[in-house]
Amino acid sequence: MASERESFDLSGPLHLTYVLWDNPYHRMSVAACLVQAVYILERDRQENREGSDALAPPWWTFFHFQLLRPLVDDVDSSIFGAIYEFKPPSSQSNDTLYRSPRYVIAFRGTLTKAHSVSRDVELDIHFIRQGLHQTSRSNIAIQAVRNTVATVGDSNVWLAGHSLGSAMALLTGKTMAKNGNFIESFLFNPPFVSAPLEKIKDERVKHGIRFAGSVITAGLTLAMKAKQQPKDLIIDPFTALSAWVPCLFVNPSDHICSEYIGYFEHRRKMEDIGAGVIERLATQNSLGGLLMGAFGKEFEPLHLIPSAFVTVNVFPAFDFKEAHGIHQWWQPDLRLEYKLYNYK
């Protein structure tokens, strides 16, 4: 039996009858709904819901999108993503359409259902081990985005994802940015591989732990760079990413993504006290990734980025499930805080 959260009529933003594409809340809500649609596409497949029984279509048709095609995992045949095309009615008069996308490529997160959970958890582990870029699902995602951008250009495409899907969108966006294609991206509850330091209430203790971690990470980074050949130091891929500013949507009560708040705020504080050089090195690497590199293993510190427009939902969450859920991002009574971080 379908849950209430799968029904657009019961859980969707029915209040959003007219989208202003230059309104951050409207853009966020539409992107979140298109991600939710991917979850329900997979649930429709699992439950054999077709035609009028399918629950996914209203999540995109309400905003005048069409489903071009789903993205299917080659291991378990689950639907993990979708490509949508925006088809506004010709009769609609909207002065903000110039800010709308032509295509949106969205990725779902982990589904705790028997038909897909084993593959999703396997990919969660790959992410934790900083090896998501080596998986076949990421190759399918990246190729889909490359093909779309090659056809219509990066300015006409949005990326969106939630949780594991947010990590997939982040990987894809970083890959494209390294080649000079900066895609507008909406990353909901993106996972950050770190101890949940944001849970520490004492600001001095928290800053002290972060400062010590930065010094150690910066030192190891310098040591690793000293072993590299000069030709490897010509281009700094992390600096090349600074022009790409993805939109991150995080909840302080969600320990999976909340560390992004501290990650960027600590960078700002280190710049303020004159320790920006240390933090510039530290924010490019994770301790786990450096240790893997020391043993000759290939790694990609996916969660580390120099720039972002961070939206924090400070409305109190009832529990972790609510704090990590995609549904929060289209609620009409949100209390949001916005900050732009742009570092090199």
Domain positions in the chain are 4-198+236-281+302-341
Residue 224: per-residue pLDDT: 52
The burial of 148, by beta-carbon neighbours within 10 Å (0-12 exposed, 13-18 middle, 19 or more buried), is given as buried
CB-based contact 141:149 (threshold 8 Å): no
Residue 290: per-residue pLDDT: 45
Residue 284: per-residue pLDDT: 61
- Helix locations, 104-202, DSSP H: 117-128, 136-152, 164-177
Residue 302: per-residue pLDDT: 75
Tell me how far apart the alpha carbons of residues 131 and 135 are, in angstroms, rounded to a whole number. 7
Q: What is the mean pLDDT of each run of 10 residues along the chain (344 residues)?
A: 89 95 97 98 96 97 98 96 94 86 97 90 92 95 97 96 97 95 97 69 57 51 54 57 94 93 79 59 53 52 86 94 97 95 81
CA R_g for the chain: 20
| Nearest one of 103, 87, 130 to 184, comparing CA atoms | 103
Confidence (pTM): 0.85
Q: What's the CATH architecture for 4-198+236-281+302-341? A: 3-Layer(aba) Sandwich (3.40)
CB-based contact 126:135 (threshold 8 Å): yes
